[in-house]
Amino acid sequence: MSTQKALYLLEAKGRLAVGDAPIYNPGAGELLVKLYATALNPVDWKFIEQDVFVQFLSSYPAVVGSDGAGEVVEIGEGVTGFEKGDKVFFQGGYEPKYGTFQQYTLADAGATAKIPEGISYDQASTFPVALTAAYLGLYKGLGLAPLTAAGRGIGAYANTPLVIIGGSSNVGQFALQLAQASGFSPIITTASLKHTEFLKSLGATHIIDRKIPLSSLPSEVAKITDKSILHVLDAISLSDTQQASYDLLSHGGKLTIVLHKTLTQKEGDGKEVVHIVGVRNHPGHRELLVDGYKHWPEWVKTGLLRPSQVEVVSNGLAGIPDGLKRLQNDQVSGVKLVAHPFDPIA
Ligand SMILES: NC(=O)c1ccc[n+]([C@@H]2O[C@H](COP(=O)([O-])OP(=O)(O)OC[C@H]3O[C@@H](n4cnc5c(N)ncnc54)[C@H](OP(=O)(O)O)[C@@H]3O)[C@@H](O)[C@H]2O)c1
């Protein structure tokens, strides 16, 4: 059996180390992809540190990593629309054969997209996880008309305010771009003010300094719009941002959160909170995501969606643990960390 290099999580809450791994055969509906870029996500360090995520990994050594971009090298039974040599991006999964912190992995062809011309593997690897969360957050969590719904989604929410907490996070950046295409106005976001021009280029109309006390968020938003706030997406979803997002919402409004719910809801206040789990096979997500994956390359080509800015970590797979520490310590601002699985290890 041919082997490859993988970054293993050796045991629950244990150490990450590079080792040999098998190259898996694609099953029905799957592709084998040679990975040239894998992006790092907060969930990757949470799989090592936080019980609520650790429970998703059922066996060790595990291979985590969920953002992949590379070249199709084998095609499983029943797959149509892909050929060997296609450049693709896709979201990985929690079993070793689907993790992206390795050199070859299996991808679900239904939730894989071809990389448009002019987009590098690094840039393409920034899409899957964060775009999935933003996409589901808006079109599932907030129940908006998808951009793909013929004649309904594009520009459908003119003169409707939307608040996105954490616009400079990768989830926030994609949410801003999608919200702009959905026509929301104003699009208000919280972020460090150094990102103001960048976030405006993605669709934000107003940036509120994320360092202000969250208790003053309602008054800051009221300076921008006197309309009811019926849509909020909290792309950060820490306990304080969840509660502030919920408190900001008007009667009848909806809030999407991207982490487990910690906020306190008041009974009978007519507000709805939806926790989005941005996993391709999560019940009720697949249809929307398969539809999304069909359209995303075209939206990248037309400029509706731009990839995140990238910082490549050094030392290939062995550079990932340091990158995850930086994410955990809140030392990454406005960019996506990306690793190259084939880069030599010092
Ligand atoms: N449910 C899902 O499927 C799903 C999917 C992806 C991510 N997530 C979760 O979503 C969150 C964001 O993920 P990500 O990959 O987008 O993160 P990220 O890009 O690594 O987030 C870093 C950014 O967060 C911003 N930030 C940190 N604390 C903030 C706060 N209190 N208010 C406003 N902005 C703040 C920082 O902003 P400044 O630079 O402006 O200071 C920084 O740019 C994470 O908790 C992640 O686990 C969930």
pLDDT tens digits, one per residue of 43-80: 999 999 999 899 888 899 999 999 999 999 999 999 99
In DSSP terms, 209 is beta-bridged to 191
Q: Between the CA of residue 70 and those of 94, 111, 155, what are the distances in Å?
A: 19, 14, 33
- DSSP type of residue 98: G
Domains of the chain, start order: 3-127+307-339 (3.90.180.10), 131-275 (3.40.50.720)
Q: What angle do CA 20, 25, 31 make, to 5 degrees?
A: 110
Please work out whether the CB of residue 236 comes within 6 Å of at least one atom of ligand 1.
yes
Per the model's pLDDT, the better-predicted residue between 11 and 346 turns out to be 11
Q: Are 321 and 141 in contact (CB under 8 A)?
A: no
Across 90-112, average pLDDT: 95
What is the distance between the alpha carbons of residues 269 and 253, in angstroms, rounded to a whole number? 10
pLDDT at 134: 98
Q: Is the minimum distance from the CB of 333 to ligand 1 under 6 angstroms? A: yes
Ligand 1 neighbourhood includes 277 CB (under 6 angstroms): yes
Out of 47, 67, 171, mutate this one to test ligand 1's pocket (max ligand atoms within 8 Å of CB): namely 171
The CB of 189 under 6 Å from ligand 1? The reply is no
pLDDT at 1: 60
Measured in Å, residue 312 CA sits from the centre of ligand 1 at: 18
d(CA 230, CA 184): 12
List, for residues 252-285, the tens digit of each pLDDT value. 999 999 999 999 999 999 999 999 998 888 888 8
Preceding amide of 61 cis, omega within 30? yes
Question: What residues contact residue 164 under an 8 Å CB cut-off, 6+ apart?
Answer: 172, 175, 176, 179, 187, 188, 189, 190, 204, 232, 233, 235
> 8 CA to middle of ligand 1, Å?
25
d(CA 121, CA 36): 6
Q: Quote the percentage of the chain above a pLDDT of 90.
A: 89
In this predicted model, what pLDDT tens digit does every residue of 175-214 receive, in sequence order? 999 999 999 999 999 999 999 999 999 999 999 999 999 9
Average pLDDT, integer, range 298-320: 97
pLDDT value, residue 332: 97
User: What is the distance between the alpha carbons of residues 79 and 41, in angstroms, rounded to a whole number?
Assistant: 28
Closest to 90 in 3D by CA, of 26, 35, 155: 35
- pLDDT number for residue 29: 97
User: To the nearest whole number, what is the mean pLDDT of the chain?
Assistant: 95
327 lines ligand 1 (CB under 6 A): yes
Q: What percent of the chain has pLDDT over 70?
A: 99
Q: What is the pLDDT of residues 136-177, one digit of tens each?
A: 999 999 999 999 866 578 899 999 999 999 999 999 999 999
Q: Give the pLDDT of residue 331.
A: 97
Buried b (16+ CB within 10 A) or exposed e, 48-63: beeeebeeebeeebbb
Helix (H) or strand (E) holding 171: helix 170-182
Instruction: Answer for the pair 243, 215: CB distance below 8 angstroms, yes or no.
Output: no
